[in-house]
Chains A and B, each alone.
Chain A
């Protein structure tokens, strides 16, 4: 039997989490509904993304000419620090897990909510508190250390690092609570029929992310506290002038922050696995390989931090070990890339906006990943370390993966979250501009790094000029693309056509309820007799439910 078409006549579910039990501000701020909390995270993270993006544009404009362009060196140094802090701690780490994860994980597990709804709300408020504390520091002085806070610079600078460190410390708790919640939810709240081999790939990746969050974040918390203490009271922990060890900080810091990269990338992979299946209408090629490689990345991610310290006086032996271990992350990523590509084989591919972002994602991940292994090749990294090559590399991975996936998710689940559709034509225009603009921004930065331009440079020798202009031009296209996306999504919130419960004919479990979902997700606990990514003829004999009513036990 072929998929049913009943959903072509969309119905807006009259009772949903957006209007029930109430619509007032208070009903949102005090909600324990994972969906509302997820939406609040998404809105907040998007605002911070815009703020970080604004800083990025200012940075690029400053670098348009070799000397000072629109600001002085101190302002620039604070600006790139804020850009990094806002993007990493306020956008990338929470956006997908705390935003989409909160919204989707219970839906994908057929659960009514997360395991600890109150902790979930607390997690949101810790996030806001951390953001406010950090922003306070930024407005009153701002730090000039880079988001890496390397000692002894950060413990001796006169700028206001302490509030920003405390802000990041508080944000860490939010991250830990969310991770904890997801782990318990995944273990205990799966609907009947969802064995471990039927857990949606999105949830697998979020689960792996959560493990990293609860294991690594405390280390960062401790480290940031130590820096704050040294900065405020002058204890000799990292500053050699007081008997401390400056490299110790780097070990601590990267022990968290390298796995943190996977806190950003794994959720992106989570989104992509879902998008690939839905838009090629195929079951995933190698479910187990894709699911377990997430755990592999989470595990190996803890043993690679030393690749940030190749030129810090580390022994050649250490460098060798960290170099090889780093390559394993590349292998696990390669497995996913190959499996996603193979999933397309014999599929039925609809080139919609989320799929366009998947294509961008694939491109960026392959180049970001390959250049990652290249910088793990120790002798090459000596030349590239702390140059624009590295800036381009981590933007390819982090923006390429996280932002592409964030945008893919925003479009793919827009009908789920709002019950409405965005305009497809504009969606593709936005995607093309974002992807091209992104390439024009960062490919020149790879070349700048080759040429030797160090990062965090306020001004630069003239031979770097042309490539910097190219990069700034690309950034403008990228920014324009993002503005277009923002505008049509905001318009669609109110005026978008009604989407119906499952406009993509997706087989993901989260589509088995109304869009937007009921306040309690499902009227009855669903029971599953099929996997979450099954599109082959057999499982299609049992078409996805399309009425606004949730799927019942079959």
Chain B
């Protein structure tokens, strides 16, 4: 029954118990709406037919409502509306009160990506990993304009406001992958600001988090990590990462494979890039450096010529560090290193 109605109404997967409860109310609302509307329309159609004009000289009686009519007209809808509210409001209140044992994740929206940070641990772009069956509290903020964190499968949405933290929470019930949208218009690539929620089996998640916590570069092949050999982060690479953030490279280039304003950096090194001119070029150190200094020279097919030049802005060792950083990016969805959030005091728990 649930599944039938859900499909009829085009509702997405229900990834949590909360989603099922909200959908329950949804069905109730849609059914009462349809029945009431059908009642009004059936009455109206009956009147159209029964009382259609028979002659141009028809006269009609004056019909005045009795008090009881008006009471019904007001009372009936009011009763239904209040019932909806009585079910919906506690659901909403629940969504506003994360359980005490919830795990925290900091979420930051910025044009046009989602950044997730685990306290004291790793952070990642556009991929949010959470354990199944455990409550997760999201502390959400924004770097620039208002965004809105939205996971349809969870029926959860919360605005990301610059200069403020808002919160919401959920507890996904089984492993799976779900879309994360930005629901508040935020400019050019608003509709491309799509992330992924990866719900992992709890043990796997713990292992993954532990690995990440040690500050490693993550796995090489993108599969979630268990007992990977630890490769200490080199200082040059760290420096490159810092510079890439500082210089705004990461505004347009993702480091996890998602498509952005510019080509992703993951696996870029030694990749064969097709150019707009029809030629192609191997992305070696020379190409990478040249792309920073004279971006208009070789535009990669499918992208716009929007990148500014870094000629004179980057000293040679800095450019080299960024190249080293790019070389180190081999498919992992998660970066290591200390969390960069939160910037503000976290919201105290109730």
**Closest CB in chain A relative to B258 CB, distance in Å:** 13
Complex: A16 Cα to B163 Cα, angstroms:
63
**Interface flag for A366 (CB, 8 Å):** yes
**Closest CB in chain B relative to A499 CB, distance in Å:** 16
Q: Which of B45-53, B200-208, B211-219, B274-282 contacts A (4 or more CB under 8 A)?
A: B45-53
Residue with the greatest number of chain B CB neighbours at <10 A, chosen from A289, A363, A379, A385: A379
Complex: A535 Cα to B62 Cα, angstroms:
7
Q: Which of B115-123, B125-133, B185-193, B332-340 contacts A (4 or more CB under 8 A)?
A: B185-193
- Which of A3, A283, A331, A366 makes the CB contact (< 8 A) with B78? A331
B187→A157 contact, CB < 8 A: yes
CB-CB under 8 A for A456 and B190, given A316-B96, A370-B36, A451-B152 = yes
19 other A-B residue contacts (CB within 8 Å) besides A246-B146, A363-B41, A367-B33: A73-B191, A74-B188, A152-B145, A152-B146, A240-B164, A246-B162, A281-B59, A285-B65, A286-B65, A323-B89, A331-B77, A334-B73, A348-B54, A376-B85, A382-B22, A383-B22, A386-B184, A447-B9, A459-B191
Q: Which of A34-42, A50-58, A297-305, A339-347 contacts B (4 or more CB under 8 A)?
A: A339-347
User: B62's closest neighbor in chain A, by CB?
Assistant: A536
A377→B29 contact, CB < 8 A: yes
Residues of B within 8 A of A (CB): 9-12, 22, 25-26, 29-30, 33, 36-37, 40-41, 43-44, 47-48, 51-54, 56-65, 69-70, 73-74, 77-78, 81-82, 84-85, 87-89, 91-93, 95-97, 144-146, 148, 150, 152-153, 155-159, 161-164, 166, 179, 181-192, 194
Chain A, 92-105, contact with B by CB distance < 8 Å: what is the 0/1 string?
00000000000000
- Which of B33, B157, B159, B188 makes the CB contact (< 8 A) with A383? B157
- Contact count A vs B, C-beta below 8 Å: 276
Chain A, 157-171, contact with B by CB distance < 8 Å: what is the 0/1 string?
100000000000000
- Which of B51, B62, B84, B183 makes the CB contact (< 8 A) with A374? B84
Q: How large is the interface on A (under 10, 10 to 19, 20 to 34, 35 or more residues)?
A: 35 or more
Instruction: List chain B residues, Cβ under 8 A from A342.
Output: 63, 65, 69
**Interface flag for A139 (CB, 8 Å):** no
Instruction: List chain A residues, Cβ under 8 A from B192.
Output: 459
- Which of A312, A338, A370, A467 makes the CB contact (< 8 A) with B33? A370
A316→B53 contact, CB < 8 A: no
Chain A, 116-158, contact with B by CB distance < 8 Å: what is the 0/1 string?
0000000000000000000000000000111000101100110
6 contacts between A and B (CB under 8 A): A374-B30, A378-B85, A378-B91, A386-B184, A454-B183, A536-B59
Complex: A253 Cα to B197 Cα, angstroms:
33
CB-CB under 8 A for A457 and B61, given A150-B146, A331-B78 = no
B53→A313 contact, CB < 8 A: no
A330→B95 contact, CB < 8 A: no
A458→B191 contact, CB < 8 A: yes
User: A374's closest neighbor in chain B, by CB?
Assistant: B29
User: A156's closest neighbor in chain B, by CB?
Assistant: B145
Instruction: List chain B residues, Cβ under 8 A from A311.
Output: 148, 157-159
Complex: A144 Cα to B93 Cα, angstroms:
35
**Interface flag for A359 (CB, 8 Å):** yes
